[in-house]
C-alpha cells in the first residue's frame, strides 16, 4: 500500500543520503590546499584519531584540527539551513521561502554582530543573540507579508527584501563600531564563511541541527496540511497557531546557530528542499529529514569547492551556494 511504499522510500532515501554524507565527510577531508594521503588518513579517521597511521604531525593536525571540524560544521550548517528552508516553505505555502531571502539570516547576523561588539569575550552570546535576531526578523517579515488577502509568494519575497535591506544598513552601522582590522574578515564572514575558529560553537551547532530537524520532522503531518492552506489545515484539526510558533522558534534556532558560526550562507534552504521535493515528492515526513541530509551534503561539497578552486586562497562558501541558488530562484519564480 501507499503508506508502506512511502515509508520504504523514506528509509531508502535517508539511508542513501546518510551513506553519501559519510562518504563525503571522509572524501572531502582528503582534499584541500595540502592534499593528504588517502590510506593513512582513512586509517586515522576510522581509528577516531587514536592512531596517526603514518601521518606526519602537521598532516594529523590539518586533518583533525582543521578539516574535519570544518566539514562537520559545514554539515551542521547545511542541514540546519535546508531544514529551516523546507519548513518555512511548508508553513508559508511558498516554494521561494528561504532563510537568506526572507532576511532571517541577516537578522541572525545583526544579533551575532551585536554579541561580538558588546560581549566579545562571551562566545555563547553569539548564537543566543543570533537566535533572537533571527526570530525578530522572522516575525517582522511574517507581519509585513500578511495582507488582507493573505500572503502571496511575491508579497513575502518583497517583505524579505525590505527586511534584508533594512538589516543590511544596521550591519553597516554596527561595522563602523569595529576596528578596521576586523572589518575585512567580517565582510568575508557575512558572505558565509566556514573557516573561522568555531571549536566551542561546533557541538552547539551540531546539537541544534539534529534536535531541530527531529522537532520539525515530528510535525511533518501538520506541515503537510499547512502546505495546502492555513484554513484547510485548521479545518482538518491542525493547531495552526502552535505549529506556526514551533516552526518560527525552531527555524530561528537553526538559522541563528548556523549564522553565528558561519555567517549567511545563502540559498541552501532554497536549492536543497527543491531538489528533494523534485525527486521524493512533497510529503514533509520524507522531505524534511532528506533535506537535512541533503543540505549537509550540499554545503560540504560547496565548501570544498570554495577552499580548493583557487587554493591556497579561499572563497566564501556563500559565494558558491549563491552561484547555484540564484539561477534556481529565477527558474522557480517563473513557475510560481
Binding footprint of other proteins on the chain (CB under 8 A):
1-3, 6-7, 90, 93-95, 153, 217-222, 224-225, 227-229, 231-232, 234-240, 277, 281-283, 285, 336
Compare residues 214 and 324 and give the one whose CB is closer to other proteins.
214
Q: How far is the CB of 247 from other proteins (least distance, A)?
A: 12
* Least distance between other proteins and beta carbon 28 (Å): 32
β-partners of residue 150 are: 147
Closer residue to other proteins, CB minimum distance, 68 or 84:
84
Q: Which is nearer to other proteins, 218 or 323 (CB)?
A: 218
User: What's the closest the beta carbon of residue 91 comes to other proteins, in angstroms?
Assistant: 12
Q: How far is the CB of 293 from other proteins (least distance, A)?
A: 18
Q: How far is the CB of 57 from other proteins (least distance, A)?
A: 48
* Shortest CB 286 distance to other proteins, Å: 11
Nearer to other proteins, 238 or 322 (CB): 238
Radius of gyration of the chain (CA): 20
Nearer to other proteins, 228 or 311 (CB): 228
Return the number of the residue (1 or 172) whose C-beta is nearest other proteins.
1
Amino acid at each position: 500500500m501507499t503508506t508502506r511504499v512511502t515509508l520504504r522510500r523514506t528509509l531508502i532515501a535517508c539511508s542513501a543520503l546518510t551513506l553519501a554524507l559519510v562518504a563525503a565527510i571522509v572524501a572531502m577531508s582528503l582534499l584541500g590546499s595540502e592534499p593528504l594521503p588517502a590510506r593513512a588518513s582513512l586509517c586515522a579517521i576510522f581509528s577516531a584519531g587514536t592512531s596517526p597511521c603514518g601521518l606526519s604531525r602537521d598532516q594529523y593536525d590539518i586533518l583533525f584540527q582543521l578539516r574535519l571540524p570544518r566539514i562537520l560544521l559545514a554539515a551542521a550548517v547545511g542541514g540546519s539551513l535546508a531544514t529551516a528552508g523546507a519548513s518555512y516553505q511548508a508553513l508559508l505555502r511558498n516554494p521561494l521561502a528561504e532563510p537568506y531571502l526572507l532576511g532571517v539570516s541577516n537578522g541572525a547576523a545583526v544579533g551575532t554582530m551585536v554579541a561580538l561588539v558588546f560581549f566579545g569575550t562571551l562566545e555563547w552570546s553569539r548564537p543566543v543573540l543570533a537566535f533572537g535576531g533571527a526570530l525578530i526578523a522572522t516575525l517582522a517579515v511574517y507581519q509585513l507579508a500578511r495582507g488582507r488577502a493573505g500572503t502571496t509568494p511575491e508579497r513575502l519575497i518583497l517583505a524579505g527584501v525590505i527586511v534584508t535591506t533594512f538589516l543590511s544598513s544596521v550591519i553597516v552601522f554596527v561595522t563602523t563600531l569595529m576596528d578596521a582590522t576586523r572589518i575585512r574578515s567580517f565582510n568575508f564572514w557575512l558572505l558565509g564563511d566556514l573557516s573561522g575558529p568555531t571549536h566551542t560553537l561546533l557541538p552547539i551547532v551540531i546539537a541544534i541541527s539534529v534536535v531541530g530537524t527531529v522537532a520539525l520532522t515530528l510535525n511533518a503531518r501538520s506541515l503537510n496540511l499547512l502546505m495546502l492552506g492555513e484554513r484547510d489545515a485548521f479545518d482538518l484539526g491542525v493547531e495552526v497557531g502552535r505549529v506556526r510558533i514551533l516552526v518560527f522558534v525552531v527555524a530561528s534556532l537553526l538559522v541563528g546557530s548556523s549564522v553565528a558560526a558561519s555567517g549567511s550562507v545563502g540559498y541552501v534552504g532554497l536549492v536543497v528542499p527543491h531538489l528533494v521535493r523534485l525527486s521524493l515528492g512533497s510529503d514533509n515526513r520524507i522531505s524534511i529529514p532528506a533535506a537535512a541530509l541533503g543540505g549537509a551534503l550540499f554545503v560540504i561539497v560547496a565548501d570544498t569547492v570554495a577552499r580548493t578552486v583557487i587554493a591556497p586562497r579561499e572563497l566564501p562558501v556563500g559565494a558558491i551556494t549563491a552561484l547555484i541558488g540564484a539561477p534556481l530562484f529565477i527558474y522557480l519564480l517563473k513557475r510560481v
